[in-house]
Amino acid sequence: MECVRSAWFLVVAGLSLPACSLDFDAAFAEPSFNPKPDGAVDAPPAPDASKDAPEAGKDGQKDSPVDAGCKQCSGQCVPVDDPAYGCAPTSCSPCSAPHVTKYACQEGQCLALTCEPWWGDCDTSLVNGCETQTSSSLTSCGQCGHGCPVPGNGTATCTSGVCGLQCNSGYSPCGSTCANLLTDPSNCSTCGHACPQPSNASVFCTNGSCSYTCNAGLTDCSGDCVDLSTDIDYCGSCNNTCPAPIGGSATCVAGQCGTSCPGGQTVCGGTCTNTTSSLSNCGACGRACSLANALVTNCISGACSPVCNTGFTDCTKPAAPSPDDGCETSGSACP
C-alpha cells in the first residue's frame, strides 16, 4: 500500500522517477515545530553568533573596534605613541634599552629622554640606549660632548664627571698642565712662579732657579739688557747717563753723549737757544749784544743792531763770534 501511494504522488508531480524511490511518509512527516495548545508556535532557531563575531587578536582575545590614534594591545585600545606599548603602530612591546629611565615616541621610534645617573645617550641612538658612562668618559666627562683636554707630558683623566690629569714621571700638575719644576720658566721651583722676563733677553730655569741671558750685542746693566753704543741711559758704559738740554733731548751716538734741539736751535748753557734772535747769545753762545752808547739793541739774524745815542755811531759791526762793541764811534759818521 505504501509503495502505490508513493507512485501516485510521483505521477501527479510529473516526475519520471521510479516508483517507491521517495518515502511518502517522510515527505509528509510532522513539522519540526508543534502547535501549542493555545495556537502559538516555537520560535525559529537563533543564528550562530560565531559567524558575525570579530576575529580573535594576536593575543587570543577578541579585538574591539580601533579608534584613531590607538592600537590594540592586550584587548584594549592604547595610544600609538605610548612608550609603555612601543612606538610602532603595529607593535605592543614596550620601549627598552640599556640605562634608559624615561622614553618618548617620535615618528614611530623610541627615544631616550632620561638616563640613569652617570649615563648619557651621547650618540642619540636607542639601539645601545644610554651608552656612555659620563662619570669616566674622556670625551663626555660629566655630560655628553665635554671632552677632557690632554696635557703635555701627561694624560687626561675623568673621575666622577670631573676632568683631571695624570703627569708623567718628573712632572707635576700645575693647573691644567704638567710642568717640570726644575726647568720650566713659568713654574720654576713651584707652580705659578714665573721667572722675570727682562727686555731683549732669554730666561731660563735651572735646577729650580731663574736666570737670563741678554741677546747678542747687548750688555747686562743691573738687569737691563742694553746697547751701550746708543742707549742714553747707558751710553758707553753702564753708569753713564746722557743729560738732556732744556727744550731739547739727549743723544748717544757710538757711545758718546750728545744733544738735539728743535728748529735749528743751539744748546747754550744747557738750554736750546735761538742764536738768530737771542740778545745774550746773538750769533753764538755767550755773545751778548752791547748797549755801549746805545739806547736799545737788537739781534737780527745773528747780528747785533743797536740804536745809538746822539753823537755816536756803530761803525765796526763785529760779526760772531767776536764780541759786540755797541756804538763805539764818536760822531755821526764813520771815518
Does residue 75 lie within any of the structural domains?
A: no
C-beta separation of 241 from 234 below 8 A: yes
Dist CA 25 CA 111 (whole Å):
78
- Average pLDDT, rounded, for the chain: 84
Instruction: Tell me which residue range forms the domain holding 204.
Output: 183-226
State which of 179, 202, 237 marks the end of a domain. 179
> What does the pLDDT look like over 36-62, one tens digit per residue?
444 443 444 444 444 444 444 444 334
Write down the pLDDT at residue 335.
Answer: 83
Q: What are phi and psi of 202, to 5 degrees?
A: -110, 135
User: With bands split at pLDDT 50, 70 and 90, how would you rate the model's confidence at 67?
Assistant: low
Split into its structural domains, the chain has a count of 5
SS3 116: coil
Dist CA 244 CA 61 (whole Å):
111
pTM of the model as a whole: 0.49
For residue 69, give the nearest of 58, 87, 81 by alpha carbon. Answer: 81
Average pLDDT over residues 29-38: 42
Buried/exposed code over 66-87 (b: 16+ C-beta within 10 A; e: otherwise): eeeebbbbeeeebebbbbebbb
Point out the least confidently predicted range of 14-18, 233-237, 252-256, 295-299: 14-18
C-beta separation of 181 from 187 below 8 A: yes
Does residue 56 lie within any of the structural domains?
A: no
Average pLDDT over residues 103-132: 91
> What does the pLDDT look like over 270-309, one tens digit per residue?
999 999 999 999 999 999 999 999 999 999 999 999 999 9
C-beta separation of 179 from 191 below 8 A: yes
Dist CA 135 CA 101 (whole Å):
17
To the nearest whole percent, how much of the chain has pLDDT over 90? Answer: 70
Does residue 18 lie within any of the structural domains?
A: no
Does residue 319 lie within any of the structural domains?
A: yes
